[in-house]
C-alpha cells in the first residue's frame, strides 16, 4: 500500500432531501440508511481499505458533527477530522484538506469522495481508483471517475469524453454538463460519448494547489497563508477566519469545468448517488409487492412504496401506491414518491411555520 495515497471524505452536508430521517443534528451520512448495521460514512471508509492506511484518511465535516465522527470512526485521530465552521460548498472543503495534507506530505496523491454513495463492485472501484492515482502521481492532471450511464437520468452531471474509442483507460474530458433536461439526457445516452460524473476526484497535491492558484486565487491565498497553523493549536481559530473569507463555490465549477488538464476513468461500479428517497428505494431489496420496508410495519393493498419507521412503533399502511412514508423523531412524512422534489419545500415550510425543532 502506497503511503503517499490519501483519502478525503466530504461529510458535512445535512441531506435535506432525506428529511425527516436526515436531520441537522444527525444527517444521513451518520445513519444506517441501508439497514445493514453500518452508517454510510462507515461503509465509505471501508471502501478505501486497499487504497491507503487509516492514518491517511481525512474527514471534512461540520464542526457540530465532531462527536458523531469520533463515535463512528474511533480509529481516526483528531488531526484527521477537519471541522468546517460553516458550509461553503466543496471548493473550500477540498482546499482545506489539500493544503493541510501538503504540509505533511508534499508528494501526496489525494482521492476526494462524498460520504453518501453506494458502490457494489468494490474490486472494479479499487482498480479504477488505482488507475487514476497512478496517472495523478506521474502526470500533471486532475481526474474524476465516470460512471457508464444506464438511463437518461436528469439528476446527475454528465461528462463528455473526447476520445471514448481510445484504448487508454484514462481519457480526456471535453465538457461538463450539470443535470440536463430529459431530452438532452437522452441525446447524451444515445451518443455513447458521455459518462455520469461520480463526484470522486483524484489528483496529486501539487497539481490541485497549482489549480487553486490559477483558477481560485483568493481561496489559494487564504489556505496557503495559514499552512503554518495546520496540526497546531492555532488551526481551529485560523480555519474560522479562513472560512469567513471564502465564497461559496463548488470544486466542479471553480476548477474542474475550467481546467484544461482534466481526465476521466470511465468505469462500471454498480454506483448510485444516494441522495433521495427514490434512490434509496431503487438500491434496496423489495418484497413481492415492490415495497421497501424498514421498521415494525404491516401493509395492505400497498405497492412500490418505501416505508421507514421506528422499530418500537407498529405502523399499519393500507392503500398506498408509489409513496414515501418516513418517520423519525418528531416528524412523520407521507409523500408521493414522484413528488419527492418537494421535500425541501416541506422542510422549509415546517421551519417557518412550526419551528427549527423540526429541521
pLDDT over 80 (residue 1): no
Q: Which helix (H) or strand (E) holds 66?
A: helix 66-72
- Mean pLDDT along residues 149-167: 85
**What's the pLDDT tens digit per position in 6-17?**
999 999 988 899
- Averaged pLDDT score across all residues of the chain: 94
For residues 261 and 141, the answer to whether their CB atoms sit within 8 Å is yes
**What's the pLDDT tens digit per position in 221-253?**
999 999 999 999 999 999 999 999 999 999 999
- Mean pLDDT along residues 150-166: 85
Between 211 and 341, the higher pLDDT residue: 211
- Mean pLDDT along residues 45-53: 95
> Thinking of the domain 5-272, which architecture would CATH place it in?
Alpha-Beta Complex (3.90)
| DSSP-derived pairing of the beta strands 323-328 and 331-336 | antiparallel
* Domain-wise residue ranges, the chain: 5-272, 277-354
**What's the pLDDT tens digit per position in 60-100?**
999 999 999 999 999 999 999 999 999 999 999 999 999 99
Least confident of 100-109, 110-119, 145-154, 224-233: 145-154
What are the start-end ranges of the H helices in 261-342? 277-283
Residue 167 has a pLDDT of 65
Q: Give the integer Cα–Cα distance in Å for 39 and 118.
A: 12
Residue 244: how many CA atoms within 13 Å on its side-chain side? 6
CA-nearest of 338, 340, 12 to 326 is: 340
Q: pTM of the predicted model, to two decimals?
A: 0.92
The DSSP symbol for 345 reads H
Residue 156 has a pLDDT of 85
Residues of the chain above pLDDT 90, percent? 85
Amino acid at each position: 500500500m502506497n503511503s503517499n495515497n490519501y483519502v478525503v471524505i466530504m461529510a458535512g452536508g445535512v441531506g435535506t432531501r432525506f428529511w425527516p430521517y436526515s436531520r441537522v443534528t444527525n444527517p444521513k451520512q451518520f445513519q444506517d440508511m441501508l439497514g445493514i448495521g453500518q452508517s454510510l460514512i462507515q461503509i465509505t471508509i471501508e471502501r478505501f481499505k486497499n487504497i491507503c492506511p487509516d492514518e491517511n484518511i481525512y474527514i471534512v465535516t461540520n464542526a457540530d458533527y465532531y462527536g458523531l465522527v469520533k463515535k463512528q470512526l474511533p480509529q481516526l485521530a483528531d488531526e484527521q477530522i477537519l471541522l468546517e465552521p460553516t458550509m461553503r460548498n466543496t471548493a473550500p472543503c477540498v482546499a482545506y484538506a489539500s493544503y493541510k495534507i501538503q504540509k505533511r506530505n508534499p508528494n501526496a496523491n489525494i482521492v476526494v469522495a462524498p460520504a453518501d454513495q453506494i458502490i457494489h463492485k468494490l474490486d472494479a472501484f479499487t482498480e479504477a481508483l488505482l488507475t487514476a492515482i497512478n496517472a495523478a502521481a506521474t502526470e500533471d492532471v486532475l481526474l474524476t471517475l465516470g460512471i457508464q450511464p444506464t438511463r437518461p437520468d436528469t439528476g446527475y452531471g454528465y461528462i463528455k469524453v473526447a476520445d471514448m474509442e481510445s484504448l487508454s483507460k484514462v481519457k480526456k474530458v471535453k465538457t461538463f454538463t450539470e443535470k440536463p433536461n430529459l431530452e438532452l439526457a437522452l441525446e447524451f445516452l444515445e451518443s455513447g460519448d458521455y459518462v455520469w460524473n461520480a463526484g470522486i476526484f483524484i489528483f496529486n497535491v501539487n497539481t490541485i494547489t497549482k489549480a487553486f492558484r490559477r483558477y481560485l486565487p483568493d481561496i489559494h491565498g487564504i489556505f496557503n497563508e495559514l499552512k503554518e497553523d495546520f496540526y497546531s493549536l492555532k488551526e481551529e481559530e485560523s480555519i474560522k477566519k479562513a472560512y469567513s473569507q471564502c465564497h461559496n463555490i463548488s470544486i466542479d465549477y471553480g476548477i474542474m469545468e475550467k481546467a484544461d488538464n482534466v481526465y476521466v476513468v470511465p468505469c462500471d461500479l454498480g454506483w448510485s448517488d444516494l441522495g433521495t428517497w427514490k434512490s434509496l428505494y431503487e438500491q434496496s431489496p423489495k418484497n413481492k409487492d415492490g415495497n421497501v420496508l424498514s421498521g415494525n410495519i404491516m401493509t395492505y393493498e400497498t405497492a412500490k412504496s418505501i416505508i421507514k419507521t421506528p422499530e418500537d412503533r407498529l405502523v399499519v399502511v393500507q392503500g398506498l401506491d408509489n409513496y414515501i412514508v418516513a418517520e423519525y423523531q418528531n416528524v412523520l412524512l407521507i409523500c408521493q414518491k414522484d413528488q419527492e422534489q418537494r421535500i425541501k419545500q416541506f422542510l422549509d415550510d415546517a421551519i417557518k411555520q412550526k419551528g427549527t425543532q423540526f429541521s
